[in-house]
Amino acid sequence: MTAASPPQVLRAPLVVEFPFTRSLGPVQSAFLTGLREGVVLGVRTADRKVMVPPVEYDPVTAEEIRELVEVAATGTVTTWAWNDRPRPHQPLDTPFAWVLVKLDGADTALLHVLDAPGPEAVHTGMRVRVRWAAERTGAITDIACFEPYEGPAGGEAAPHDGDFAGAVTGIVAQARLDYVYSPGRAQTAYINALSEQKTVGERCPSCQKVYVPPRGACPTCGVATTDQVEVGPAGTVTTYCIVNIKARNLDIEVPYVYAHIALDGAGLALHGRIGGIPYDQVRMGLRVEPVWTEGGRYPDHYRPTGEPDADYDAYKELI
């Protein structure tokens, strides 16, 4: 047993990407399809207010709203904020203003961006118009941005049936977030030890259980696990299953055995694949040892040691 080593924190890039496919209801479908066609639609509420962008339910009364109207592509800035340093994914890559714009004919404001030469060129109350994107798909980004405008104002909102050929019924909400992940002290120690082909756990000072892999806390006692303990290398199969379905991108022939393995000295089992033995001969109590491949950062699989099987009583608490 040795005292936990001081932190040598591992760090690695972590990218989270998700393309959510979202369906649109009738109102959002009409609005986004309209943008694709160069038309801005809103909805009219029971008290004759025109909401752009449109909502499906009245925010005050919660009544369903379905009365579509067309508004102008010109409007007035109701508030703004100058962004000197555009961030990734934002609509313009040159300095721009965030704006809320009340389009002519609308009673509520739309959030978008304004292409202007500088903050001195922007003020609340200024007149702007939509600059359409060259390629439009039925998304809020079909409005490339707003731009200053000095022509005549648009008129009242006009009724619109919202019918377009090839209506957009869904969007794919793409997102990518970049992180730098650090696993913390306990897991850093575990990963570093694995690179030396050793498995280390941490002992709970209260219940004495040895956690593998360690996460820094004993979930039973709620206290920090501080003492590092090397466990294994051999262990005992406590339970297992036979996998018959090949996972995509997995270069392992089925059927194979996935098992819980209680490494000698560990207080709970970890899991791994069993190799070096026909799948139908794997059994509870089988003694196994890890097999590292050249340059591997963790055991590729576990194989039988050839020792006699462990007695059930020796591992039954770890199942």
Partner 1 sequence: MARYAREVAVVAFAQSDHLRRTDELSEVEMVMPVLHQVLAATGLKAGEIGFTCSGSSDYLAGRAFSFTMTLDGVGAWPPISESHVEMDGAWALYEAWVKIQTGEADTALVYSYGKSSPGSVRDVLTRQLDPYYVAPLWPDSVALAALQAQALIDAGETDEPALAAIGARSRAAAETNPHAQLSGSVPQGDYQVRPLRTGDCPPIGDGVAAVILAAGDLARQLCERPAWITGIDHRIEAHSLGLRDLTDSPSTRIAAEHAGVFEAPVDTAELHAPFSSQEVVLRKALGLGDGVSVNPSGGALAANPVMAAGLIRIGEAAARIHRGESDRAVAHATSGPCLQQNLVAVLEGDRA
The binding site for partner 1 (CB under 8 A) comprises: 7, 9, 11, 14, 16, 20, 22, 24, 28, 32, 51-53, 55, 59, 78-84, 87-91, 98, 100, 102, 108-113, 119, 124, 139-141, 171, 173, 175, 177-187, 215-224
Q: How far apart are CA 314 and CA 319, in angstroms?
A: 11
CB of 47 to partner 1, least distance (A): 14
The CA-atom distances, in angstroms, between 301 and each of 136, 233, 276, 288, 313 are 51, 12, 9, 10, 25
- The DSSP 8-state label assigned to residue 139 in this structure reads S
CA distances from 36 to 33, 53, 107, 173 (A): 5, 14, 22, 17
Shortest distance, CB of residue 215 to partner 1, whole angstroms?
A: 6
Least distance from C-beta 36 to partner 1, angstroms? 14
User: How many residues in the chain?
Assistant: 319
Q: Which is nearer to partner 1, 109 or 200 (CB)?
A: 109
Q: Which is nearer to partner 1, 64 or 178 (CB)?
A: 178
Q: Smallest distance, Å, CB 152 to partner 1? A: 23
Distances (CA, A) of 232 to 149, 188, 205, 268: 74, 19, 20, 12
115 vs 289, beta carbon nearer partner 1: 115
* The dihedral sign for the CA sequence 183, 189, 190, 193: positive
**Is the Cβ of residue 43 or residue 282 nearer to partner 1 in the bound state?**
43
The minimum distance between CB 265 and partner 1, in angstroms, equals 21
- What is the largest distance, in Å, between two alpha-carbon atoms of the chain? 91
Nearer Cβ to partner 1, position 218 or 274? 218
